[in-house]
Amino acid sequence: MASKKVNNITVSPGHPLPLGATLVPGGCRLSLFSRHATAVWLQLYESPRDDEPGEEIALDPALNRTGDIWHIQLNGDCSRLLYLWRVDGPDEPSQGHRFDQHSPLLDPCARAVAGEYRWESRQDPASGGKRQRRFRNLPPKCLAPGNDFDWGGIHRPHIPLEDSVIYELHVRGFTRHPSSGVKNPGTFPGLIEKIGYLKELGITAVELLPVHEFNENEMILRNPLTGEKLRNYWGYSPVLFYAPKSGYAAGEALEGAPVREFKAMVKAFHEARIEVILDVVFNHTAEGNASGPTLNFRGLDNAIYYILDDKDRSIYLNYSGCGNTLNCNHPVVRGFIRNCLRYWVTEMKVDGFRFDLASILGRDRDGKMLVNPPLVESIAEDPILRHVKIIAEAWDAGGAYQVGSFPGKRWSEWNGKYRDDVRRFWRSEPFSRNALASRITGSSDIYVSSGKLPANSINFITSHDGFTLNDLVSYVEKHNEANGEGNRDGDNNNLSPNFGVEGPSADPVVEGLRQRLIRSFLATLFLSQGVPMILSGDEGRRTQQGNNNAYCQDNEISWLDWGRLEENRDLVEFTRRLIAFRKAHPVFRRKSFFSGLDHDNDGRADIEWYESSGHAVRWNISRPVLAAFLNGTMAETGNHEEDTDFYLMFNSGRESRRFVLPRPPGGALWGRVLDTALEGDSSMLATETKAKPLEDQAGYELAGHACGLLIALKN
């Protein structure tokens, strides 16, 4: 291509790699993948609000195409470059092709966007007005942000997984409520202002709900209770995988604020020695099924990016429950995902990823499950990603459930069995203590056969998807009427008690039992082997008013009310002490599973199970009580420091139980550290140094719905 003028910019052929827009001295290189395109145009815009481009440049296949990559270089001032692509090719849905030369397309590798998502009804000119199209996509415009951020020598914390405490939060919801008191609520800078709180609580990693660019205004439903238009709040409907959400920036997107502010947030977290884990959605896109919008992937190479029905390739196979499924194990898509992850690690400095519906990463181009999925293996073994945390939500909407069997020893998993079995025990379901014993010891029953370790289990009681912890003890039924789907959405199996009252209660007895059970859930979580994950606000009884699927509630249903944290400061302090206690005692952070053997010949195994009577547990009998002796010697834990011994007690029944206590080794005496039936400072001691020997060394009375922990005090 001979150089020519486009306003004040000249163009030349450019270079095929890297994909996306890359600022170079004197200009910008742009490149785009499309194997089946027959024509490509680059559109340049004056403003993010413009519907039509100021200039459009046709790429010459002879000069601007290398293999399947279309490329061009703009020479001149590109500091405020705004661009989209337009692509033509076969419109043959039955063959998997859905090219539309009239639709402007976002660059899949764009690092940032400016503007809003809008729609315009129109007729397709090529049909002579006979075929009516529902809408035309008017997307935001792509940017080419610079890479001049000063990291100031701050390094990643590199916290071992077994020492991690994960806090799942929503960037917008964490500070959007007026009670947050931050300068820029609902933004990356707003989150920075709350790092001190998270550090004081003892959090080592934040797991951020999706921060990739998504269209929060894509929904057509309204709240039938208020009439307000619902919004995509969670963000599990990705449009661009490289771009931080522009709506989470306080500054102007056109000035590069989303990228700059995200980096500043990561830097601030790292200064506080807190890691940043991203919830990533590489299983589907916002383009949905055949009636969805054409945003980028569909208009660039639909047959490559999506899993399609083999007999009729106009049909999208839907293993995500969201209309389409990314063709993750196609070599092109596999490379796209891996390069995207590398970008977030190298340029944005994140510390790990939680993969939404990760079982889809293991499906082949026909949707079948692979034994050794290339993408799953390449993520685990990639030299750039080798030391970041990788966490799988090991199931999908197509029926795959791989908790305990997700391929690869390096992959940790959201342990859905932990959530369900712990909930069942505290509801006092028959024989539930058997499963509880497995869950609190790291779930060796589901992990040891695959060579995994306790830290491969990400333990949680609640997450963004479902009830909050407060609602878990306050509602039996979901209350999702505000979602506009007739309360049909959301899980019907919540395994949740309400103590006889649905929703808030003024009865002090009911409230007392709910507070006790919340403490018992938290104690179970932080005293279990594996990695604990707590949902944002659970430490202060955040409520969603019984909504267990608040994906569309960008309002006070979802936002964290900081006033509730103040009202429940005793529970916040209880949680802080629990986390600190866990960190102080390696016996709760074992690197290997319990064996039930005596490794140092002191007459006590690394773990011993007891009935409340003091006899060995009879697993074939259903009882609501369970106790365990935890041996803290270095030889038994496999850790590099000595710990003390503990006695852990659970009582999910209504009535109190007297637990007969075994004698602690070496003439030590039992002292109480934790009793969730107690209130205030007594429920969890600030440090074990405040523990006093029990007056009765032979037994301990533990109330119903309570958890207790005793420590062996040396004489």
Question: How many angstroms separate the CA atoms of 695 and 701, rounded?
Answer: 12
Joined tokens for residue 349 = 């400095």
How confident is the model at residue 524, as a pLDDT?
A: 98
Residue 572 has pLDDT above 90, yes or no: yes
Q: Which of 586, 611, 632 is where one domain is finished?
A: 586
Q: Note the pLDDT tens digit of each residue in 27-46.
A: 999 999 999 999 999 999 99
Residue 642 has pLDDT above 90, yes or no: no
Percentage of residues of the chain with pLDDT beyond 90: 90
Joined tokens for residue 458 = 């990400």
Taking CA atoms, 377 is separated from 127, 325, 380, 450, in Å, by: 47, 20, 5, 15
Does some domain include residue 151?
no
Cβ atoms of 131 and 124 within 8 Å: the answer is yes
CATH code for the domain in which residue 36 is found: 2.60.40.10
606 & 565 share domain: no
**Which one of 351, 356, 413, 608 is the catalytic residue?**
356
Question: How many angstroms separate the CA atoms of 14 and 272, rounded?
Answer: 42
Q: Note the pLDDT tens digit of each residue in 259-291.
A: 999 999 999 999 999 999 999 999 999 999 999
Residue 5 has pLDDT above 60, yes or no: no
Q: What is the dihedral of CA 333, 337, 342, 344, to 10 degrees?
A: 140
CA distance from start to end of the chain: 86
Q: Which residue has the tokens 């055949």?
A: 290
**Which one of 207, 213, 393, 675 is the catalytic residue?**
393
Does some domain include residue 148?
no
Residue 79 has pLDDT above 80, yes or no: yes
Residue 402: count of CB within 10 angstroms of its CB: 18
582 & 606 share domain: no
221 & 248 share domain: yes
Question: How many angstroms separate the CA atoms of 26 and 18, rounded?
Answer: 17
Residue 133 has pLDDT above 70, yes or no: no
352 & 418 share domain: yes
Q: Which of 530, 562, 586 is where one domain is finished?
A: 586
Between 465 and 4, residue with greater pLDDT? 465
* The total number of structural domains that make up the chain: 3
572 & 607 share domain: no
636 & 605 share domain: yes
636 & 511 share domain: no
577 & 602 share domain: no
The domain in which residue 131 lies consists of: 5-143
Q: Is 88 in the active site? A: no
Q: Is 252 in the active site? A: no
Cβ atoms of 16 and 71 within 8 Å: the answer is yes
Q: Which of 586, 621, 642 is where one domain is finished?
A: 586
CATH code for the domain in which residue 190 is found: 3.20.20.80
Does some domain include residue 53?
yes
Residue 306: count of CB within 10 angstroms of its CB: 26
Look at strands 531-535 and 166-169 and give their pairing. Answer: parallel
Residue 659 has pLDDT above 70, yes or no: yes
Residue 7 has pLDDT above 90, yes or no: no
274 & 408 share domain: yes
How confident is the model at residue 125, as a pLDDT?
A: 52
Question: How many angstroms separate the CA atoms of 107 and 91, rounded?
Answer: 20
Amino acid at 700: Y
Q: What is the DSSP letter of 161?
A: G
Joined tokens for residue 63 = 């000069």
Percentage of residues of the chain with pLDDT beyond 70: 97
Half-sphere exposure of 550 (CA within 13 A, CB side): 23
Question: Cα angle vertex 290, ends 288, 291, to 5°?
Answer: 80
Q: Note the pLDDT tens digit of each residue in 397-446.
A: 999 999 999 999 999 999 999 999 999 999 999 999 999 999 999 999 99
Q: Provide CB contacts within 8 A for 631, sequence distance 6+.
A: 587, 604, 605, 606, 607, 608, 637, 645
How confident is the model at residue 399, as a pLDDT?
A: 96
Using DSSP, state whether 132 is helix, strand or coil.
strand
Does some domain include residue 149?
no
Q: Is 159 exposed, middle or buried (0-12, 13-18, 19+ CB in 10 A)?
A: middle
How confident is the model at residue 635, as a pLDDT?
A: 74
How many helices and strands (H and E) does the chain possess?
A: 15, 32
CATH code for the domain in which residue 613 is found: 2.60.40.1180
621 & 652 share domain: yes
Does some domain include residue 666?
yes
Joined tokens for residue 382 = 């990639």
Mean pLDDT of the region 99-103:
95
